Structure formats: structure tokens, C-alpha cells
Structure 1
Amino acid sequence: MALHFRTLLAAAFLLVPATFAVAQDNEPDVDCDNAMTQMDMNICAHRDYETADTELNAVYKKAMDAAREMDVQAKDMGEHYVGAVNALKRAQRAWIGYRDGQCELAGFAARGGSMEPMLVSGCLADLTRKRTAELKTVYESEN
């Protein structure tokens, strides 16, 4: 009996990831230019954040490349001039903590309500775009 229960439990754990993957693939087709329901607005706000996050990741990679180049160039002046990569990593980690806390706070305006996810996603998208602009200055100032 115990072996049968363990087998069923193991099978259930194997199905959970597949269920989540299907749920994500079957996201409703929402026209975000004409979102009317709160659910649609939540979906659109999340999509907006995902788009902003994708751009941030691409810009972060370019900023990291620029920071590496700064470190290579600074090495000739001495080791104490090297550290752009580490500074960028520390700044990004600190920013992520700030972003997450700030956007959690933004959600409290509708805590527990159907609008909370939209407020959080909107905050995430806004702060992510601002951070993307900040990171662009790392490599755009070099050109």
C-alpha cells in the first residue's frame, strides 16, 4: 500500500510542471489596446512588464560588456582602478531589491483585490524602463 501511494505521489509531482506549462501556453488572447475587464488589464500589465524586462536584460548585457572593457582599460593604471564589473553587479542587485519592495508596496493600494496584480506589474514595468535608461548610459557615454 505504501509503495502504491509513493508511486502516485511521484506521478503527481511529474504532472505539476506540465500543467503549469500548458496553462502558460493557453494564456487568453487579449487585445491590450482595448482591454476592458480587470483580468485583461492584469494580463496586459504583466505582458508590458515582461517586454520591459526583456529589454532590460539585453541592455544589462551591453552595460556589462562596457564595464568589462572599462576594467581592461583601467588595468594599465593599476589594480585599484579596476572594479566596474563588480560595481555594476552590486548596483543591479541593490536595484532589484529596491524594485521588488517598491512594487510590492504599490500593490498595497489594492491589497487582496483584483487590481493588485495590475498595480504591481505596472510598477515593475515603470521602474524597469527607468533602470534600462540608466544602464544605457553606461555604454552610450563611451561612444
Structure 2
Amino acid sequence: MMITALVLLLQSGPAGQPECDQEASDQGIQQEMNICAAAEYREADAALNAQWAVTSARMKERDEGWKPDWDRRPGHFTTLLESQRAWLRYRDAHCRLDGYYARGGSLEPLLVSTCKTGLTILRTEQLKELAERGP
């Protein structure tokens, strides 16, 4: 038992996550497919977080020059933050539901991770477009 735990720890990737064995994943070994899908999601999430930093900074810049008396709506950053929080709730719930196709089975984590990766990549592009738009 102790040796197994040590081997797993030594094979772990960032933050104690197991590393993806792409060859085993390509052979259809479910556990490896799950591990690789989770690693892909972590990469997509890291890219999302990097783009978030850029886009949120851009929205804060836009807020600095926008203070008309006639417009009492929330600013760019506040609206971006609200939308991001709503999107995170949507993504997590939608992908949980997508995983229910294999609810309780070994395929469920793969379905959830794959769903989260796809939606996260799309959201990263949306954030990039927001940052690049006009004034």
C-alpha cells in the first residue's frame, strides 16, 4: 500500500496530479483517458485564466474613461465579472449534465473534462475578442 502511494506520488504531474500517458490513452485505457482529458482541461483553464487577466485589465481601463452622469449602469469590469461568474456556473452545470450520460461509470470523468475543455476554449476566445474590441 505504501509503495503504491509512493509510486503514484512520483508519477504525479503539477499539484500532485497524475501525468498523462498518451500512449496508454490512445490504446483506450479508461483511467489514462480520464487522466489525459483532465490534463487537457487544466491546460485550457490556465489559458482562460491568462486571458482573464488581460481582458479584466482592459475592462478596467475602459471604466476609467467612462463616467457620464446619464448612464447609471454597471461598468465594463463589473459586467464582465458578473458574466464570468454566470458562465462558470453554466459550464460546470452543463458539463456535469453531459457526464450523466455515463453517470457513475468510469467514462463520466472523461465526458465532464472533455466538455469543460471545449467550453473553456470557446470562452477564452470570447474573452480575447472582448479585450480586442474598440474603445
Q: Do the two structures share a fold, i.e. TM-score over 0.5?
A: yes
CA distance in 2, matches of 1:28, 1:133: 27
* Higher normalized helix content (fraction of residues): 1
2:22 alignment partner, one of 19, 31, 35:
31
Question: Structure 1 residue 99: deviation in Å?
Answer: 0.5
Aligned-pair identity in percent equals: 37
In the alignment, what sits opposite 1:62? Answer: 54
1:82/1:106 Cα in 2 relative to 1: closer, same or farther (>3 Å)?
Answer: closer
In the superposition, the TM-score normalised over structure 1's length comes to 0.76
Verify the 8 A CA contact 1:74 1:82 in the aligned structure 2: no
CA distance in 1, matches of 2:17, 2:51: 30
In the alignment, what sits opposite 2:96? Answer: 104
Verify the 8 A CA contact 1:74 1:81 in the aligned structure 2: no
In the superposition, the TM-score normalised over structure 2's length comes to 0.80
Q: Does 1:45 align with 2:37?
A: yes
1:122 alignment partner, one of 86, 94, 114:
114
CA distance in 1, matches of 2:74, 2:104: 47
Uncovered stretches (5+) of structure 2, i.e. residues with no partner: 1-5
Extract structure 1 runs of 4+ deviating beyond 4 A. none
CA distance in 2, matches of 1:74, 1:26: 44
CA distance in 1, matches of 2:38, 2:51: 20
CA distance in 1, matches of 2:17, 2:98: 29
One-letter amino acid of the structure 2 residue matched with residue 106 of structure 1: D
Structural mapping, 1:9-20, within 5 Å: none
Q: Does 1:91 align with 2:91?
A: no
Uncovered stretches (5+) of structure 1, i.e. residues with no partner: 1-18
Query: Number of residues paired by the alignment?
Result: 123
- Please report the RMSD computed on the Cα atoms of aligned residues, expressed in angstroms: 2.5
CA distance in 1, matches of 2:128, 2:109: 28
Larger Rg: 1
One-letter amino acid of the structure 1 residue matched with residue 120 of structure 2: T
CA distance in 2, matches of 1:142, 1:50: 31
